[in-house]
């Protein structure tokens, strides 16, 4: 284990303590006796310092040519590639998910860096004919200014990269507050940017808690936009606060995602997808497959194989390459999972496997819960409606693709969805009829790629997208009219 140390905020290009001098400890969720590090417990004063630094840096950064900004991102991607294993191990230790997943998390940041680097040469505007003679019209993207970012703990490097990299290439400066459970991964991401040549003040990190650091960031008068990923409950608070000052706000929130398995599906493939979708990251993904909607003809076969494979999963410390599912991130998440397991039992659903915290000295110091499958479930049960964010999934029977789509649509969320079928007609009906931001065919509900838009509908989001469309949020449009007629021309008046 690496020795625990004190990590500082990053403000104006310097690593600094919080003004209060207070810190909080970050524990390894697989072994809570292991202190990953101590991080600054920041307050409004620290947020103010970070915003001032970002505001000062913006004047020069916005004038840096976009291709040059992109070159810094490209170098950061190369540095992340070199440090991938180191940063993945740090992430597993502070967040818990297995090394295969944390390596993928770092790789997503690498992919985002390379993709957004190219946007420095592709930040296209457009020209259009004028309705008047001797006049030229065009529209161009311009940066917003200082952007505030609040990120979650489940993808502690990938999601910050989704926000920071497009914001930077567009010419904005940033203040980010990472989740208090996983600040080290964001610090590692920004270290790569600094080593790639990012100027001082362009990105600033303030660690701490939501009420004392996140809220002041959202409410700061000089923060021009907020990008938030987290729960729908907190997202509603963030969105309402931003709306009070007409501040653009991107919200990416919860999900209650469904995998549909039809009678003609490759059942073994569907089980592969169900395991990965339901129990990857211990179910702690907004895209986790927490519902299996299975047609009656293959229901029993699917459940039997799904249960058998789930029982063979190895729970433990994600740094162990043989482990297939790590811990949950903290006690609160475990308590929520335990609560919903009891809710499911009280609602009349049947536990096919799992359902409790595992025993044994090896797991006694961590936040572990067994992967759990409920059967005999109804679509309106709470376990089939509410986001659990733990290793729990619910199997629901269906009679047709049409009914399956209705069940998939029956929650307040609309992020990801999947269907397993060999019938292309049914696949396209599902794509058409499922109301969600993402639909996979013959693949689970997780696996988004950075060059497609990412986000959802209903309580999942407010219409903005990350991934390829992130520059739509991090820029605003300016219309430009150039009149070279050498006379006054009045649109609509002189164009009769």
Indicate whether 322 belongs to any domain: yes
Q: Are residues 205 and 294 in the same domain?
A: no
Indicate whether 364 belongs to any domain: yes
The residue behind tokens 């303030």 is 206
Indicate whether 450 belongs to any domain: no
Active site residue 170: no
Res 371 pLDDT > 70: yes
Q: Which domain holds residue 367?
A: 257-441
Instruction: Give the tens place of pLDDT for each residue, 202-234.
Output: 999 999 999 999 999 999 999 999 999 999 999
Indicate whether 447 belongs to any domain: no
Selection from 21, 241, 53 nearest residue 150 by Cα: 241
Would you place residue 191 in the very low, low, confident or very high pLDDT band (cuts 50, 70, 90)?
A: very high
Report how far residue 195's alpha carbon sits from residue 190's, in angstroms, rounded to the nearest whole number. Answer: 9
First-to-final CA distance of the chain: 77
Q: Contacts from 330-337 at CB under 8 Å and sequence distance 24+?
A: 330/29, 330/181, 330/367, 331/367, 333/284, 333/367, 333/389, 333/390, 334/367, 334/368, 334/369, 334/390, 336/388, 336/389, 336/390, 337/283, 337/369, 337/372, 337/388, 337/389, 337/390, 337/391, 337/392
Q: Are residues 416 and 340 in the same domain?
A: yes
Q: Are residues 287 and 193 in the same domain?
A: no
When pLDDT is averaged across residues 419-445 and rounded to a whole number, the result is 98
The token pair that represents 371 in the structure block: 């992967």
The token pair that represents 445 in the structure block: 């509900």
Determine which one of 286, 370, 387, 466 is catalytic: 286
What does the pLDDT read at residue 1?
Answer: 43
Q: Are residues 236 and 268 in the same domain?
A: no
Q: Are residues 246 and 317 in the same domain?
A: no
Q: Are residues 67 and 205 in the same domain?
A: yes
Instruction: Give the tens place of pLDDT for each residue, 228-284.
Output: 999 999 999 999 999 999 999 999 999 999 999 999 999 999 999 999 999 999 999
Question: What per-residue string of b and e applies to 211-234 under the rule 16 or more CB within 10 Å gives b?
Answer: ebbbbbbbbbeebbbbbbbbbbeb
Q: Are residues 233 and 213 in the same domain?
A: yes
Would you place residue 494 in the very low, low, confident or very high pLDDT band (cuts 50, 70, 90)?
A: confident
The answer to whether residues 38 and 7 touch, using CB atoms and an 8 Å cutoff, is yes
Cα-Cα-Cα-Cα dihedral sign, residues 100, 106, 107, 112: positive
Element (H, E) at 396: strand 392-398
Q: Are residues 232 and 305 in the same domain?
A: no
**Model's pTM, two decimal places?**
0.96
The DSSP call for residue 130 is -
Cα-Cα-Cα-Cα dihedral sign, residues 144, 18, 233, 418: positive
Element (H, E) at 28: strand 23-28
Q: Are residues 249 and 264 in the same domain?
A: no
- How many residues are listed for the chain in this entry? 496
Domain count, the chain: 2
Instruction: Give the tens place of pLDDT for each residue, 161-185.
Output: 999 999 999 999 999 999 999 999 9
Report how far residue 327's alpha carbon sits from residue 95's, in angstroms, rounded to the nearest whole number. Answer: 8
Find the CATH number of the domain harbouring 265: 3.40.309.10
Find the CATH number of the domain harbouring 73: 3.40.605.10
Indicate whether 160 belongs to any domain: yes
Q: Are residues 335 and 436 in the same domain?
A: yes
Indicate whether 456 belongs to any domain: no
Res 405 pLDDT > 70: yes
Active site residue 301: no
Q: Are residues 470 and 339 in the same domain?
A: no
Three-state SS sequence of 63-93: CCCHHHHHHHHHHHHHHHHHCHHHHHHHHHH
Report how far residue 466's alpha carbon sits from residue 473's, in angstroms, rounded to the nearest whole number. Answer: 8
When pLDDT is averaged across residues 275-303 and rounded to a whole number, the result is 98
311 φ/ψ angles, rounded to the nearest 5 degrees: -65, -25
The token pair that represents 164 in the structure block: 């920071």
Indicate whether 366 belongs to any domain: yes
Q: Are residues 331 and 418 in the same domain?
A: yes
Instruction: Give the tens place of pLDDT for each residue, 272-282.
Output: 999 999 999 99
Determine which one of 180, 252, 387, 466 is catalytic: 252
Instruction: Give the tens place of pLDDT for each residue, 311-363.
Output: 999 999 999 999 999 999 999 999 999 999 999 999 999 999 999 999 877 89
Provide, for the chain, the percentages of residues in helix, strand and coil under a 3-state DSSP scheme, each rounded to the nearest 5: 40, 20, 40
Indicate whether 387 belongs to any domain: yes
Question: What per-residue string of b and e applies to 482-493 under the rule 16 or more CB within 10 Å gives b?
Answer: ebeeeeebeeee
């Amino acid at each position: 284990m690496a020795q625990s140390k004190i990590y500082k905020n990053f403000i104006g290009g310097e690593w600094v303590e919080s003004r209060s001098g207070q810190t909080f400890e970050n524990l390894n969720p697989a072994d809570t006796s292991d202190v990953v590090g101590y991080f600054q417990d920041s307050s409004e004063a620290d947020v103010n310092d970070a915003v001032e630094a970002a505001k000062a840096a913006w004047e020069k950064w916005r004038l840096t040519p976009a291709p040059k900004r992109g070159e810094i991102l490209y170098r950061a991607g190369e540095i992340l590639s070199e440090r991938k294993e180191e940063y993945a191990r740090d992430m597993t230790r502070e967040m818990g998910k297995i090394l295969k997943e944390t390596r993928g998390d770092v790789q997503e940041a690498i992919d985002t860096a390379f993709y957004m680097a190219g946007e420095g040469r592709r930040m296209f505007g457009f020209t259009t004919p004028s309705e008047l003679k001797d006049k030229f019209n065009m529209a161009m993207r311009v940066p917003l200014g200082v952007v505030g970012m609040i990120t979650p703990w489940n993808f502690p490097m990938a999601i910050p990269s989704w926000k920071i990299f497009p914001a930077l290439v567009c010419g904005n400066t940033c203040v980010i507050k990472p989740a208090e459970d996983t600040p080290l991964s964001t610090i590692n991401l920004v270290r790569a940017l600094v080593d790639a040549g990012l100027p001082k003040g362009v990105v600033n990190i303030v660690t701490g808690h939501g009420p004392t650091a996140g809220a002041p960031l959202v409410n700061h008068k000089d923060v021009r936009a907020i990008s938030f990923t987290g729960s729908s409950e907190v997202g509603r608070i963030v969105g309402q606060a931003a709306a009070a000052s007409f501040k653009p706000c991107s919200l990416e929130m919860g999900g209650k995602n469904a995998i549909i398995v039809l009678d003609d599906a490759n059942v073994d493939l569907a089980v592969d997808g169900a395991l990965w979708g339901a129990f990857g990251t211990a179910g702690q993904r907004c895209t986790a497959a927490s519902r299996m909607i299975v047609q009656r003809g293959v229901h029993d076969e699917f459940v039997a194989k799904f249960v058998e494979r789930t029982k063979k999963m190895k729970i433990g410390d994600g740094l162990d390459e043989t482990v297939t599912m790590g811990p949950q991130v903290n006690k609160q998440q475990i308590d929520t999972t335990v609560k919903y397991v009891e809710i499911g039992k009280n609602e009349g659903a049947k536990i096919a496997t799992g359902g409790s915290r595992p025993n044994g000295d090896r797991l006694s110091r961590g936040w572990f819960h067994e992967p759990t499958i409920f059967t005999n479930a109804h679509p309106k049960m709470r376990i089939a409606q509410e986001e659990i964010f733990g290793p729990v999934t619910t199997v629901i029977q269906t009679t047709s693709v049409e009914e399956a789509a209705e069940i998939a649509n029956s929650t307040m969320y609309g992020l990801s969805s999947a269907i397993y079928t060999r019938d292309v007609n049914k696949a396209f009906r599902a794509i058409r009829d499922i109301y969600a931001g993402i639909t996979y065919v013959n693949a689970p509900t997780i696996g988004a790629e950075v060059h497609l838009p990412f986000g959802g509908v209903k309580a999942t989001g407010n219409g903005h997208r990350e991934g390829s469309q992130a520059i739509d949020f991090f820029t605003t449009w300016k219309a430009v009219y150039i009149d070279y007629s050498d006379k006054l021309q009045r649109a609509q008046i002189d164009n009769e």
